[in-house]
Amino acid sequence: MPLVYVTRKSHFNAAHRLHNPSKSDEWNRATFGKCNSPNWHGHNYELEVTVVGEPNPETGYVMDLADLQKIIQERVIDLCDHSNLNLDVPFLKGVIPSSENLVVAFWNQMEPHIKGGKLTSIKLFETARNVVEYRGNL
Ligand code: NI
């Protein structure tokens, strides 16, 4: 049977600060540099969520992209867009909001809600050149 990968792209803006509160200010500055700036900084994040599956013979769809978009919107975008990722987002409480940690948290937010297709990849573009991808646990 043919396996088809289907991707939905989304966008959100958010502020954050990379800071590990269990370490000294000096360690944080040395480790995170400008990303440790106490007055926050913002990113225009691009998010790509990919599901995989066999096209349903009745619809030709792996999964209705409107359904996927609704999950992305409600589980991630509505909570993160125009937010401070360190302070405002309940599911990120206690998480250092690096792109690596964000994709894992986003996966856990969305995966249980995705039906039909199987979640296979989440890519987060923090900038056009810095991209992180999570494909689930090994
Ligand atoms: Ni940053």
Angle of CA points 91, 40, 76, to nearest 5°: 25
Q: Which of 80, 82, 113, 133 is catalytic?
A: 82
Over range 65-92, report the average pLDDT. 98
Active-site residue, 74 included: no
Answer CATH for 4-16+42-134 from 3.40.30.10, 3.40.50.150, 3.30.479.10, 3.40.718.10: 3.30.479.10
What would the pLDDT profile of 115-124 be if each residue is shown by its tens digit?
A: 989 999 999 9
Q: Is the pLDDT of residue 138 over 70?
A: no
Q: Which residue has the higher pLDDT, 137 or 124?
A: 124
Tokens of 123: 């890519």
pTM over 0.75: yes
23 is written with which tokens? 């370490």
Considering the candidates 35, 46, 48, 113, report the single residue annotated as catalytic: 35
The one-character DSSP state at 89 is -
In this prediction, what percent of the chain has a pLDDT beyond 70?
Answer: 99
